[in-house]
Structure 1
Amino acid sequence: MENLNILVLDDERVFRDEIKEFLETDKFVVHLAGKPSEAFEILKQSEIDIIILDLKLPEMDGLTFLQKVKELYPDVEVIMITGHGDMDAVIQAMRYGAVEFFPKPFRLIDMKAAIQRTKRYISLSNKYKEVEHSYALVSKELRDNVGYEIMGNSKAIKQVVDLMTKVSKADSTSVLITGESGTGKELVARGIHYLSSRKNAYFHAINCSAVPEALFESEFFGHKKGAFTGANEEKIGWFEIANGGTLFLDEIAEMESFMQSKLLRVLEDKKIRRVGANNDIFVDVRIIAATNQDIQKLFDENKFRSDLYYRLNSFEIHIPPLRDRREDIPMLLDYFLKLISQKLNKKIPTVDASVVKALSAYHFPGNVRELRNMVERALILCDGNKLTLKFFAGLPLIDEDVTLDNEIEELFDLDEAEKRLIVKALQKTDYKKSETAQLLNITRQSLDRRLEKYGIDL
């Protein structure tokens, strides 16, 4: 925005010309109009950034013109000028969207300062709109193809989405996704695929820990009929299935050394050979790998090939655990409530404030997957129209940040109060049953019965 386009609408020609002459010295492009009809013609033909608008005009007053401009051209900013000191008009103009207001007479230097302020505002507003528009488009596409589980309003998850968007455009770049179990690594991989030019091809997910060494080549590369005992028909391997698309290698750190070397060769040569075949098949596959382990530490300990690590780690995306983006918990809770209620054919219940508070304080070792499972269990147990803490058994069990004293004082549900008291005693004794029973002044057997009754697992 080097040169702003400014429209001056005033019925006094001398005044218009004076403003034009002054502003053009600062390289602004200035258009002049003496009445609203002329101004609308200019707006149709030119991209206007700022309108300097007189309140008293022929054809219609300035406030009416301001309203019409904001309806037709909402991104155009308006600075109001008048020689009539009407405070009601000032307030009304601001309500209609004017950014500045000057009474006549005023100094042209003040006008210039106001335009510079408005210029900075327009620049920031445009950047914000670009970011929001980009994120909204990405979010919509991800929601449509992947789901809400990787959505949120936190800075951390927006950064993940931003990285997904950027790397999706480089559709031959290998990606390594790291993060704890349950954070949504496969969802991020699917998101990258659906945002890329490969989205109309196949996305194939493989759990590397479930592939035995003996079947590795047959599963990944395929085999010819009769290639080995039991090969009764020709089989296409996973690389061919995903040709033109994306191959997602989950738990890549669990892959045996022999398989790592075979995989590395394919990634470097971009060709495979079926077991029992004599010819190579060229493949165009994007590789996205994922692990919940410290893969750097594994290759330092010679448990993972460093050359494969560097080949896979062209671009890394780390998904933060849910406890590091707690502000996303209410949105995810709302999403899972709607999704699972629909699956269970149940009316969506209201949620007690204490549930949101407890969930937001809980540290979620199982991350988003654990939250989903919690919500599903609670909805199955709930027969009424309100979800309370009693449907989230053991929720504060391993989170000392959830303070129960005040809640127990105000709680008149005996079972719920007893359960919370047991939980607090367990926390105090570091979950040692004998010490917990002694603290509660009950027998160990009595504690075991209560733990089973309230669904508290240790």
Structure 2
Amino acid sequence: MAHILLVEDDLTYARIVKNFLEKNGFQVSTCIKVKDAQNLLGNEKIDLTIADFRLPDGTGMELLHWAKENFPQMQVILITHYSDIRIAIKAMKLGAFEYITKPINPDELLATVRESLAQKASPSIQIEIPEERSSPHSKNTSVLRSAYVVGSSQEAEKLEKHIQLVAPTDLSVLVLGETGTGKELISKRIHEFSARKNGPFIAIDCGALPKDLAGSELFGHVKGAFTGALDNKTGHFEMANGGTIFLDEIGNLSYEVQIQLLRAIQERKIRKIGGNKEIEIDVRIIAATNENLLSQSGEGLFREDLYHRLNEFTLHAIPLRNRMADLEHFVQNFIQESNERLNKSIKSLAPEVWETFYSYDWPGNLRELRNMIKRAVLLSQGDRIEREALPTELLETQYYEKRMASENSAPAFTPAIPSARPIPTGDYKTHFQEQEKELILKVLQDTRYNKSKTAKILKMDRKTLYSKMEKYGLD
């Protein structure tokens, strides 16, 4: 019986989820704080941790980071509100298996739990050794579906042209782009069109590597090299020999490991931790980041010489909002993937859903789209996805944005000044503040004083919202 740890400070909510999981055959332990969760994880055998993001003494993100450093094989699912989408995506980059949003749908929770337990956790590495070119219908445990969508937008065609240009070479490639834009997919496509296509493709999430063990994970170690080194270990670079190694979130590597990596690139040799023997390697390196490595090098956080070694050719992953002409291709691809995983037969989206998707700015890019499609496929009863299957907060946010856009010619949080009566010179500021106060109060009431949602609807950060609430006496 799988043992699940549920970390949730809402006791009523925790009891409901605990009872539901136990009825479905799982053993469930609960606690409400990060510290309590760490104690339980250290003293009991836990197969899966489900943690709310907001906890009394910290966050689910802090617990995730700690758990992955101490128990890298354990799966972690993060619970968030829909407005926490950027936080949830960052959590997945740190090694979370998945995130689910409140209010939790029982079927979605159960499917996610079963899927996480069915897969052996390996947050830092994914290995693919193809015997033949993968079919678009083949299954893949990668965060994003392996089938690459070229697309028809001008930006996508330019990206594909550059991929085809660099793939046959042996140049090191740096893939830049926002989180969730498919940087790993781009890297796999380079590998598939290279002379190394029959060799291994190894993807490593550098952000999920335990800090003290990153060198061992990448380059291996010999028995007795450090406490816990009970046997010889083959590192990822040696495993990738003859193929391609993809280093995602490269900026997370420590300075010491950067030195080891630079040496491996320059000399095409590695040395295991604690070993004396040099091992020759033939590996192509593709690195990716959503950070400014040059800026980090100026701050002494990233070696400039390593940056130039990695950046022999640069590719830019395109944010989904800038390639909406390709949205239909991605949607159909993710529907097909979700149908296979959930045994469903969804064919397309309702017209209202298409309208919502095309008007949304997709801050989480392809990863957010994929997760939203998967959730909607699970919740849908017919052969297409209806609006009711979308997250409620997404629909509410778009409703307010459309309403305010139609009422105001100024930015969404700037109320239009009515022309029904003349405003005396010098009173514009007072009138504006009255209108702004009225608008903020209205949105607060409509969202039941959900400040995160209110700030998003009004297109201002929470600090600004709090400041204005205090100014107008609305807190």
1:360 aligns with 2:358: yes
Note if 1:157 corresponds to 2:160. Answer: no
1:435 positional shift: 6.7
1:244 matched to 2:247? no
Q: Output the CA distance in 1 between the equivalents of 2:399 and 2:294.
A: 32
Conserved in 2, the CA contact under 8 Å of 1:148 and 1:332?
no
Match of 1:438 among 425, 438, 441: 441
Q: 1:347-386 alignment to 2 at 5 Å? A: 347-386=345-384
Q: 1:257, CA displacement in angstroms?
A: 1.3
Aligned residue among 176, 185, 195 for 2:174: 176
Shift in alpha-carbon separation, 1:238–1:440, aligned structure 2, 3 A? closer
Q: Deviations over 1:297-318 (max 9, x none)?
A: 2223332111011000000000
Structure 1 pair 383/305, CA: closer, same or farther in 2 (3 Å)? same
Q: Distance in 2 between matches of 1:284 and 1:297?
A: 30
Aligned counterpart for 2:265 among listed residues 245, 264, 267: 267
Alpha-carbon distance, 1:339 to partner: 2.3
Question: Closer, same or farther in 2 for the Cα pair 1:152/1:284, shift >3 Å?
Answer: same
Cα offsets for 1:304-363 (capped at 9, x unmatched): 111011000000000110001111112211222222123222222442222112211211
- Secondary structure of the residue aligned to 2:297 is helix
C-alpha distance in 1 between matches for 2:159 and 2:207: 26
Matched, 1:321 2:319: yes
- Once the two structures are overlaid, the 10-residue window that deviates more, 175-184 or 371-380, is 371-380
Distance in 1 between residues matched to 2:405 and 2:261, nearest whole Å:
57
Q: Compared with structure 1, are the counterparts of its residues 230 and 322 closer, same or farther at alpha carbon in structure 2 (3 Å cutoff)? A: same
Please state if 1:403 is matched with 2:434: no
Cα distance between partner residues in 2 of 1:265 and 1:441 = 56
Aligned AA (2:305): D
Cα distance change, pair 401–308 in 1 and its aligned pair in 2 (3 A): farther
Whichever residue aligns with residue 162 of structure 1, its letter is K
Q: In structure 2, how many angstroms separate the alpha carbons of the residues matched to 1:228 and 1:174?
A: 32
Q: TM-score w.r.t. structure 2 length?
A: 0.55
Task: Mark the CA change 1:378 to 1:149 in structure 2 (over 3 Å): closer, same or farther.
Answer: farther
Matches of 1:160 and 1:381, distance apart in 2: 35
Shift of 1:396: 5.2
1:291-330 matches, cutoff 5 A: 291-330=289-328
In the TM superposition, residue 143 of structure 1 has moved relative to its aligned partner by 4.6
- Judging changes above 3 Å, is the alpha-carbon distance between structure 1 residues 303 and 442 closer, same or farther for their aligned structure 2 residues? closer
Per-residue CA deviation, residues 417-441 of structure 1 (Å, 9 max, x unaligned), is xxxx9xxxxx6589xxx97783269
Q: Distance in 2 between matches of 1:141 and 1:165?
A: 18
Query: Which residue of 2 is the match for residue 189 of structure 1?
Result: 187
Question: Quick one: structure 1 residues 359 and 443, their matched pair in 2 at CA, closer, same or farther if it must change by over 3 Å?
Answer: closer
Aligned to 1:62: none
2:173·2:287 contact (CA, 8 Å) conserved in 1?
A: yes
Q: Over aligned residue pairs, what C-alpha RMSD do you find?
A: 3.4
2:165 corresponds in structure 1 to 166
**What is aligned with 2:199?**
201
Number of positions where the alignment pairs a residue of Structure 1 with one of Structure 2: 292
Q: Deviations over 1:392-421 (max 9, x none)?
A: 2233566699635999xxxxxxxxxxxxx9
Judging changes above 3 Å, is the alpha-carbon distance between structure 1 residues 366 and 268 closer, same or farther for their aligned structure 2 residues? Answer: same
**SS in structure 2 at match of 1:277:** coil
- Taking the aligned partners of 2:215 and 2:444, their CA distance within structure 1 comes to 61
Deviations 1:172-225 (CA, angstroms, capped at 9, x unpaired): 210000000000011111111111111111111111122244323322221222
CA distance in 2, matches of 1:257, 1:348: 48
- Structure 1's unaligned 5+ residue stretches are 1-139, 408-420, 422-426, 452-457
- Give the letter aligned to residue 249 of structure 1: L
8 Å CA contact 1:150, 1:157 repeated in 2: no
Q: Find 1:288's aligned residue among 273, 283, 286.
A: 286
The 2-side partners of 1:299 and 1:285 are apart by 25
What SS does the aligned partner of 1:204 have? strand
- Give the structure 1 partner of residue 29 of structure 2: none
Q: For 1:258 and 1:435, how far apart are their aligned partners in 2?
A: 55
Letter in 1 for 2:219: F
In structure 2, do the counterparts of structure 1 residues 326 and 143 end up closer, same or farther at CA, with 3 Å as the change threshold?
same
Instruction: Give distance in 1, aligned partners of 2:163 and 2:288.
Output: 14
Larger-Rg structure: 1
* Equivalence map 1:3-402=2 (5 Å): 143=136, 147-170=146-169, 172-393=170-391, 394-395=393-394
In 2, Cα distance between equivalents of 1:214 and 1:359: 42
* C-alpha spacing 1:406/1:308, structure 2 compared with 1 (3 Å): closer
Matched to 1:211, the amino acid is L
User: Are residues 252 and 400 of structure 1, via their aligned partners in 2, closer, same or farther at CA, if it must alter by over 3 Å?
Assistant: farther
